Structure 1
């Protein structure tokens, strides 16, 4: 902000206001498009992709929290001081198999645990109350028992009908439990990858962000929506290229058949 202030001959207050307003507009414009509420059909599509890519059935997303490092806010005490001995706000997020954020909660105090943030968040309360349109329990394969659709997360989150976590105690696990933990960890790794992609795309995450907490929250919101916009565009472009390639192959095959006749 200081360098931009000198470059454009405006005060740092004006620069901060422009950044905040721009991030708010980005969030308001893209949020309905890239972070919509999901229906039963869309949850099933997410679960199908998670099963195809990571072999974990009935998984409707991977969840974890990321500490966004900030400069200590004035008069905040230890509210933002986290276990990593830095100040932060928590970005709690759920993603699908394509590294797209599906639901996010932004701005919790850094001192809170991921499980506590999820419990107190609006999306956590809606999951607990059954208000997230998650499909009812269904068979994994024909003739099997019915199993619920659930999120996957690490040991920081409590086990529940809509949230699966690994078995604890590595040395005393059975072979089946070790295989379950391995499969769950593979599926859960997607959210870690998303956070890595986010930090690689937006370099502001690589060092403590200086600004008011409200401004920082708007910055995080803007990067989340832009990330989803770019991921969805990339997925759409790849699908179109596959369709175009398939049409070209079909035309080539038709031509070769005609020539052969």
Structure 2
């Protein structure tokens, strides 16, 4: 009995010692994810890669190389922008010039058409200035009117103006500067209506030259007629004074009729005085 009791005591003491060692920290405690009691050192960095790819990547990542590439790209972009701006300026100038030319042409077209229409109506602004001198004394009216190769139209205009002067009852003895302005204005207007070609002459100078030539021709004709009549009268007076038949007839009449002879003779003398007058 004493041996069995001592062995039992020894077993209990052994269990007590084993349990005490576990609590002293040598045994792993139970629980979720225990933290290490000492710090874990960081992992060693990877060594740099070797080869052409590694050098290219390292060079592209360098700050100096990045700034160089960016500067070149900016310069090229700036140059490109300047070229585009220059082209835009040239295009704008060309467009402005084209618009100006088109506007000028568009403005000239209605003016030309209006002039042509006005000329057809006899109301065009004169465009042919008056030459120096006068018709027949300084220039040829037919040539000055541009009708040197169109005699038919020239004569048609001349006949038309002559009929207007006759219709206005302008005396042949009057000078052009003494014509009534209202009458002259009517002649101008009707002449342009009948012959639109006359509308191109400044201040109706071609129409006026026709009138001047017509009146001058009529004055010359009237002067020749007066001279011819005067010459005829002088010839008749001379023939009457030199003819003996007049005196003989009166004498015979006086001898036959008595006192009436003297009366007839005096009557013949009175007739001669009237012709002289």
How does the TM-score come out when normalised to structure 2?
A: 0.24
- Which one has a larger percent helix, Structure 1 or Structure 2? 2
- Which one has a larger percent strand, Structure 1 or Structure 2? 1
- The higher radius of gyration belongs to 2
Q: Which has the higher contact order (CA 8 A, sep 6+)?
A: 1
How does the TM-score come out when normalised to structure 1?
A: 0.26
